[in-house]
Structure 1
Amino acid sequence: MAMMIRGSLGLAPWDVLNQGLDRHLPLSYGTVSMIIGAAVLLLWIPLRQKPGLGTISNVFVIGLSVDAGLSLLPALHGLPVRAAMLVGGIVANGLAGGLYIGARFGPGPRDGLMTGFARRTGGSLRLVRTVIELTVLLVGWLMGGQVGVGTVAYALAIGPLVQLFLPVLTVPRASGSSAARRGGAEGDHAGRLRGGAVHEAARG
């Protein structure tokens, strides 16, 4: 996420919202990301979604990591360097998505919002995710977030990247283990990602 911000060629939809709010609040980008993650997590309550360790970690670790990344990465100049930073950020997001979903400790707040709404409304994951992403993108853009070629690149690339990394990185489910007893929701979610039905995962 920090690499995509420094690339200044457009952000993923939720990051557009984060940046848009960051422009209007006296808070760091990472803090805004954590607040939004916590707010989305509250929406899980009426949807009857159950968080896991990965869900809670997603809220805090990403925000802190983005702030750390922004403090280390300088402002960039020149299109080739910015493009390289964008591509690197997207690939890193795909790898991170495969890692955290494959760990089977629970989806991130935004992924859980998608699956919760899909289950309660009966809509497809693809439709529900698209509506959520477009809504978030519109609000973030209206608040001044970066929308550009990077936004399109992320939307097109993140699904195939997660699909590429997830089978390699998913931890096998041991029969009789606590992970197995938690049910198949996480496995179903990973399976849908492998099938290309949805696309941040890294936000979680």
Structure 2
Amino acid sequence: MMTRRLLQLLIGLALFGVSLAMVVRASLGVAPWDVFHQGLAGRTGLSLGTVVIIVSFLVLLLWIPLRQRPGVGTVGNAVLVGVFADIGLALIPQFSYLGGQIALLIGAVLLNGVASALYIGARLGPGPRDGLMTGLAARGWRVGTVRTGIEVVVLAAGWLLGGSVGVGTVLYALAIGPLVQLLLPRFTVPEPAGKGKELPEADALAAGTSSPAS
């Protein structure tokens, strides 16, 4: 069972990173957190994947006062999404015509939904950003309010830094929650007999929008 969970986690995070690269190459706007990542990458000269990794570990520092405990999946998320995003950006060409951009964007959102369900369903720990959200929610804040507040802040900061905001940002925000909610039951690894199934990060995704793994 653990072998399956680790393999599912790895595949999910790899596909998530590739889907991030696809959204970037579609050039129609990226998810709120990735607007922030893209803006920072443009300002610092670092690759997008490197920025994703750095921000992930900075967000993990915020887990400390919230007493959140990272899992294997949390650390894997912090490292691998950025690595595979850079690999995807190196392999996926830039589309210059609208039809290709739209197709790439839709494919990216669908792939991201599958990837998110895979890594969350492995039950090995939430991503750094989701853990921040669920940690704040555990202190009495409503999940939807926390998610919206965080993403409005990072979206605004990313836009000011030069990140790409567009129709892709809206599509991603509206579609990813329902997609993950639909797919998660199909990919969730069953709990051993006698244990209850707890997926707070999945509940958070169902209540909010935007990038799950980021």
Per the TM superposition, whether the score is higher than 0.5 is yes
**Paired AA for residue 201 in structure 2:** H
1:84-163 to structure 2, matched below 5 A, reads 84-120=103-139, 122-163=140-181
- Aligned counterpart, 1:39: 58
**Structure 2 equivalent of residue 190 of structure 1:** 202
Aligned-partner Cα distance in 2 for 1:6–1:53: 30
Cα gap change, 1:201/1:54 in structure 2, threshold over 3 Å: closer, same or farther? farther
Task: Choose from 58, 71, 78 the match for 2:90.
Answer: 71
Contact 1:34 1:63 in 2 (8 A): yes
- Structure 2 distance, partners of 1:107, 1:28, is 24
Deviation at 1:192, TM superposition (A): 4.9
CA separation of 1:201/1:166 partners in 2, compared to 1, >3 Å: closer, same or farther?
farther
Post-superposition CA distance 1:37-63 (Å, at most 9, x none): 010011000110000000000011100
Aligned residue in 2 for 1:169:
187
**CA shift at 1:201, angstroms?**
5.1
* Native 8 Å contact 1:94 1:201 kept in 2: no
Give the structure 2 partner of residue 61 of structure 1.
80
Root-mean-square deviation (CA, aligned residues, Å) is 1.5
One-letter amino acid matched to 1:156:
L
Aligned-residue identity in percent: 55
- Displacement of 1:118 in angstroms is 1.2
User: Size of the alignment, in residue pairs?
Assistant: 195
Distance 2:98 2:45 in 1: 30
1:46-100 CA distance string (max 9 Å, x none): 1100000000000111000000000001111100000111111111111111001
Which residue among 6, 28, 33 is the counterpart of 1:14? 33
Kept in 1: contact 2:33–2:211 (CA 8 A): no
Q: Deviations along 1:157-190, whole A, 9 cap, x unmatched?
A: 00010011101100111136xxx5xx86x42333
Which segments of 5 or more consecutive residues in structure 1 lack a partner in the other structure? Answer: none
Could you tell me which amino acid in structure 1 is paired with residue 147 of structure 2?
R
Query: What is the TM-score normalised by the length of structure 2?
Result: 0.87
Shift of 1:199: 3.1
**Match for residue 3 of structure 2?**
none
State the TM-score, normalized to the length of structure 1: 0.91
Q: Secondary structure at the match of 1:142?
A: helix
